[in-house]
Amino acid sequence: MIKVAIVGGTGYTGVELLRLLALHPHAQVKVITSRSEEGVRVADMYPNLRESYPNLAFTVPDADALTSCDVVFFATPHGVAHSLADEILQAGTRVIDLSADFRLEDADEWAQWYGQPHGAPHLLADAIYGLPEVNRDKIKDARLIAVPGCYPTAVQLGLLPLVEAGLADPQQIIASCASGVSGAGRGAKVGSLFCEAGENMMAYGVKGHRHLPEIKQGLSRAAGQPVELTFVPHLVPMIRGIHATLYTTVVDRSVDLQALFEQRYQNEPFVDVLPAGVFPQTRTVKGANMCRIAVQRPQNGDVVVVMSVIDNLVKGASGQAVQNMNIMFGLDENSGLTTIALIP
């Protein structure tokens, strides 16, 4: 049984980890931390988990407790994992970080986008970007996993087949994405209030969103050359889900794009390429570690439209983190992740 610790267990990604790991046949949560909720039982804060965690309580982060586990998940704001990851790794415990602390390869670029110096630049060389559909072999032997962001997961999975095949014009890529309000986290923010977000849709981060360099980094690596991207995120009045509508110019009309996508993802357990003419809906992935994708070329022209949907808290965060853990420990990749999406 894999002994698990979760640092930062009171937010949405933390409780989603608890939900998924409660169903995992080979993992058990031994430690969960929260400085603000020390002593509070998980069952009291999250009554939906009463049967799964009747006695587990939040504690203050303690290095000895964390390193007594096999793997530590960081479900924390950016910057927290910088200060703790090194000691944990030196003790031989593996780290899976759901924050943005180790996603970017360049420490200076990270500092530019996150407004503070990178706290552990010496660990960047050890960090493996945890997108299984790209880095599965590297994840197997990784000590430190940087779990991709939610928007970067949906966008990269949607564009990888085109970029890898050299079919997408690297200077003509647009990602117009919409996310539910849970992507903003559990903290109280005016923009996330029901009265503010309900019956409304708005763009944000148009001048530059923190996920932009992460997406460009991944697509550029896949393309083998720099990729330019226009990324516009939107907030929509739903709790969970991301819908990414992606546009690019194809350089060869003769390629069967439906076959290209089906072939690229035929062996991927958590990517579903929909039949031609069927478009993905966010409700078909709610609560599931699945990305559903459709590809179209309107009027048989040069512009390709790809639609990609995920649950931002599952495949976009905690589910993908568990998927990484399964790969790291040589388990069936589906372990703990067989939940079917909730409809309605």
pLDDT digits (tens, 9 = 90+) for 53-95: 999 999 999 999 999 999 999 999 999 999 999 999 999 999 9
pLDDT at 103: 98
3-state helix, strand, coil in the chain (%, to 5): 35, 20, 40
Contact call for residues 5 and 65 (beta carbons, < 8 A): yes
pLDDT at 297: 95
pLDDT of residue 257: 97
Q: Cα separation of 267 and 157, whole Å?
A: 14
Give me the pLDDT at residue 194, please: 81
What pLDDT, on the 0 to 100 scale, is given for residue 241?
98
Set out the domains of the chain in order of their start, with CATH numbers.
Answer: 2-129 (3.40.50.720), 151-312 (3.30.360.10)
pLDDT in tens, the chain (344 residues): 999 999 999 999 999 999 999 999 999 999 999 999 999 999 999 999 999 999 999 999 999 999 999 999 999 999 999 999 999 999 999 999 999 999 999 999 999 999 999 999 999 999 999 999 999 999 999 999 999 999 999 999 999 999 999 999 999 999 999 999 998 888 778 888 888 889 999 999 999 999 999 999 999 999 999 999 999 999 999 999 999 999 999 988 999 999 999 999 999 999 999 999 999 999 999 999 999 999 999 999 999 999 999 999 999 999 999 999 999 999 999 999 999 999 99
**Cβ proximity of 248 and 162 under 8 Å:** yes
Based on the residue annotation, tell me whether 177 is a catalytic residue of this protein: no
Model pLDDT, residue 192 = 83
- Residue 191 has what pLDDT? 81
**Whole-angstrom Cα distance, residue 306 to residue 296?**
6
Pairwise CA distance, residues 128 & 135, whole Å: 8
State the DSSP H helix or E strand holding residue 137, giving kind and residue range, or none if neither: helix 132-140
Distance CA 157, CA 174 (A): 14
pLDDT averaged over every residue in the chain:
96
The torsion angles phi and psi of 249, rounded to 5 degrees, stand at -95, 125
Active site residue: 69, 150, 177, 291, which one?
150
Give 155-180 as a 3 state SS string. Answer: HHHHHHHHHHCCCEEEEEEEEEEEEC
